[in-house]
Chains A and B, each alone.
Chain A
Amino acid sequence: MKRKANRQLSSLQGMLEKQYFGKKLAILISMMISIITVLLYLPVFRWISVVNTESLYETLKVKEKAIALLETNYSLFNILSFVQHTRAGSIGLYSMILLFLIIAALYFNLVFLLRIIKKKNIKGNLSIYSAAHPAMIFSVILCIATIIYIDFANSKFGMTGFVLSPAVYLILIISIIAFIFIKLVESKERLLYREHGFLYELKKNWILFLMLVPTFLYLIINNYLPMVGVYYAFTSFNFKDGLWASPFVGFKNFEHLLKADLFKLTKNTILYNLAFIGIGNILQIAFAIFVSRVGIKWFKRTSQTLMFMPYFVSFVILKVLVYNLFEYQSGMINTAMVSLGLDRIDFYNEPSYWPYLITVFYLWKNIGYGIVVYLATIMGISDEYYDAAKVDGASILQQIRYITLPLIKPTFIILFLYALGSIMKGQFELFYQLVGTNGVLYNATDIFDTFVYRITTTQPLSIGMGTAAGLYQAVFGFIVILVTNFFVKRKNPDYALF
């Protein structure tokens, strides 16, 4: 049995070597096809032409001024400008999806071409084939989506307004041809290197795939589909047109945001987070070292337990607490002030106290968690180091300075990088429960998350601006992560986030 397989394999090997020309041909053909595709993707080729312009503009009720801005031919890259000027919001979301699709298809085709030029010499041409798959698949998906899009748009217009260029059908057909070619040569070469395709894996490990299904569904519903919803950042919502047809307005929401709150929100979010990271880590490290140096067992356990307790209460309880401490009439601080013969302080009308209060309560809630993290690292340090240091006559402070601190540095760096990665993410629950809807304090305490929450719950008409704020926050944070990761990876790959 095995020998037979071996013989088969060796004859196959010979066959593949003989067929080297065929292999080259397949790659050459798919390369040509990919180049043609990429060229046709370029914005100079207008895939969509607008016909029956006059009656179309009439049915869409386009204003005189906007007609001057319209063109008769559009590529997928600027079709959104047509949507914007005609205020045909009903095709906006689909147009944006097409824009993303064409960018993805372009990207994967370029990756494929680059892979051919810079071939990795592991396992023959398999790396080229695996780069070819997404390129071809995305081309096919894009073409089919565009063909459907034309019908969709025309049915929304109620008349024939868009006509598709034949180039799309050409790309569709040649991409399918290239895909089949690649599959053919790939299946043979896979046998040679004992690699398996997706279907084989699916058949062999179907239980594992089945186990992933719930998680997949969850991630798609909860995380990936909502990403499409960033489209609302570019619309101006109104109740008449509803969610699906509100007009596309380009970057107007971002302009409004820039004029109003963007700088303040960015500044607040980043500064608060920096304070949390900086002071938080220093305190956590200090207290973790303290706890590790305690000799009495019950004291060690009790102090750690008590400091960990605030982590477990909800932010609503925190609100009760802060309100009862700082309230004007019967708050604990103010009653104490009065009994000491001092004036009451109106905390809830004075923004300048709140940055300190919020930071203090953040530290209060999170110190226990950080102590546990750092204590885990400190406990991992071998006693030998300390013993040797003691023999050499090092004092406790010297031991901490020259043994403990250097050895918890890696943990600190990892935590710091993680925290840096989420520097644009606000502690929503903390801020919202402490400040709530108290407008007086917004200048000092408003962060992206509270701003967006306020819009979601109280101003449905500004959801465009809210989504824009959320999108800006997400993209900014994402860029910070990518840049950090890039430099960390160059400096020390062990600390890289991914």
Chain B
Amino acid sequence: MKIRDSKSTIIFKIVIYTLLTLGALICVFPFIVIISGSFTDNHTILTEGYGILPKNFTVAAYQTIFKAPQDILQAYMMTFYYTIQGTSVGLIMITMTAYVISRPEFKYRNNISFMIYFTSIFGGGIIPWYLMYSKVLGLKETTGGSMIAIWFPALMSPFLIILMRTFIKASVPDAISESAKIDGAGHMTIFFKIVLPVLGPGIATVGLFLALGYWNDWFRSSMFSTSSKTWELQFYLYDLLNATQALKQMAQNTSISTADLPTQSVKLAMAVVATGPVLLFYPFVQRYFVSGITIGAVKG
């Protein structure tokens, strides 16, 4: 009895360790290929394909990128601007809203919650949304306008508001704010002196979700940018990929020299540069995402 059990346990252990190793490898493998490809020289990629380790190690691709760095620096700066602006404004709005709908004495909290939730189950569709920003508000006519149209739409989401509310409920029990109120504290005092100081993890988690969304966005640039000056980094990368693809096809048909096109390794290097900060910070911030998702999942 005992022996049979431990035998099946051992087999089970072997199976799960193998599967988990495999799963982890499959998830990481593409990153390794991209990174090693960006350090391989272009000719090797074309003739021998990719490898786990760079054959013929070279930093030529990165040198090419940073030889004329204005464009990518501009995109980097714009992305930092959008991320910082959107995350800070969004955090302020989300925290305030979550605080209001977490107050048990606020009569209309359920109405407000439903109004927020309703946006996730029905919408007018993307075309009216686009026309709202571009034609009704006229944001596409100026550079400043299209910058607003890029950061404004992603300021909040129902999920993040509910998440923040859960954090507030968990970190400030109703009894505490209730007793503060009896002592004469107004909503401002409760919000700034009692709720905000203990909301650190909640703010970090929601802020990171927002920041990740801003960093990885390319869609709003494709919708609202009128000049490459306002492009987000991801859209810059996207445009580069598309332009090379299109040019390559043209070159095949018309015999234009392909020498000036960004090479395969340059594209990969660009991808590394564009993802860099995310992968750099990932080990440190991962736990915030885990705690955020965990809390959100428990709450449903």
A184, B49: Cα distance in complex, Å:
82
Q: Which of A228, A303, A372, A466 contacts B21 (CB 8 A)?
A: A303
The binding surface of chain A is classed by DSSP as helix
Q: Does A36 contact B (CB under 8 A)?
A: no
**A317 in contact with B275 (CB, 8 Å):** yes
- Flag A27-70 by CB within 8 Å of B: 1 or 0 each: 00000000000000000000000000000000000000000000
**B23 in contact with A307 (CB, 8 Å):** yes
A428, B188: Cα distance in complex, Å:
41
**B126 in contact with A376 (CB, 8 Å):** no
Contacts of B283 in A (CB 8 A): 305
**A330 in contact with B46 (CB, 8 Å):** yes
Smallest CB separation, B244 vs chain A (Å):
10
Q: Which of A208, A243, A323, A396 contacts B187 (CB 8 A)?
A: A208
Contacts of A395 in B (CB 8 A): 5, 8-9
Smallest CB separation, B56 vs chain A (Å):
15
Of the four ranges (under 10, 10 to 19, 20 to 34, 35 or more), the interface on chain B belongs to: 35 or more
Interface centre among B37, B49, B114, B282 (most CB of A within 10 A): B49
| Given A208-B106, A215-B93, A299-B20: A330 and B45 interface contact (C-beta under 8 Å) | yes
The binding surface of chain B is classed by DSSP as helix
Q: Does A154 contact B (CB under 8 A)?
A: no
**A397 in contact with B241 (CB, 8 Å):** no
Q: How many of chain A's residues have a CB under 8 angstroms from any CB in B?
A: 94
Interface centre among B45, B103, B153, B234 (most CB of A within 10 A): B234
Q: Does A367 contact B (CB under 8 A)?
A: yes
Q: Which of A219, A323, A369, A393 contacts B293 (CB 8 A)?
A: A369
Q: Does B82 contact A (CB under 8 A)?
A: no
- Flag B228-247 by CB within 8 Å of A: 1 or 0 each: 00000011011001100000
Q: Does A356 contact B (CB under 8 A)?
A: no
Contacts of B132 in A (CB 8 A): 221-222, 225-226, 229
Contacts of A221 in B (CB 8 A): 132, 137, 152
- Flag A468-481 by CB within 8 Å of B: 1 or 0 each: 01110110011001
Give the residue name and chain of the A residue nearest to B293 (CB): A372
Closest 9 pairs between A and B when the two form their complex, measured CB to CB: A229-B128, A470-B125, A335-B49, A314-B216, A376-B294, A211-B96, A306-B24, A226-B124, A226-B128
Contacts beyond the supplied A232-B131, A303-B24, A457-B223: 12 A-B pairs with Cβ under 8 Å: A205-B105, A227-B122, A290-B16, A312-B279, A314-B217, A330-B46, A339-B49, A364-B26, A421-B121, A452-B125, A463-B131, A466-B125
- B-side interface residues toward A, CB under 8 Å? 1, 5, 8-9, 12-13, 16-17, 19-21, 23-24, 26-28, 30-31, 33-34, 37, 45-46, 48-50, 92-93, 96-97, 99-100, 103, 105-108, 112, 114-117, 119, 121-132, 135-137, 152-153, 155-156, 186-188, 191, 212, 215-219, 222-223, 234-235, 237-238, 241-242, 264, 267-268, 271, 274-275, 278-279, 282-283, 286, 289-290, 293-294, 297-298, 300
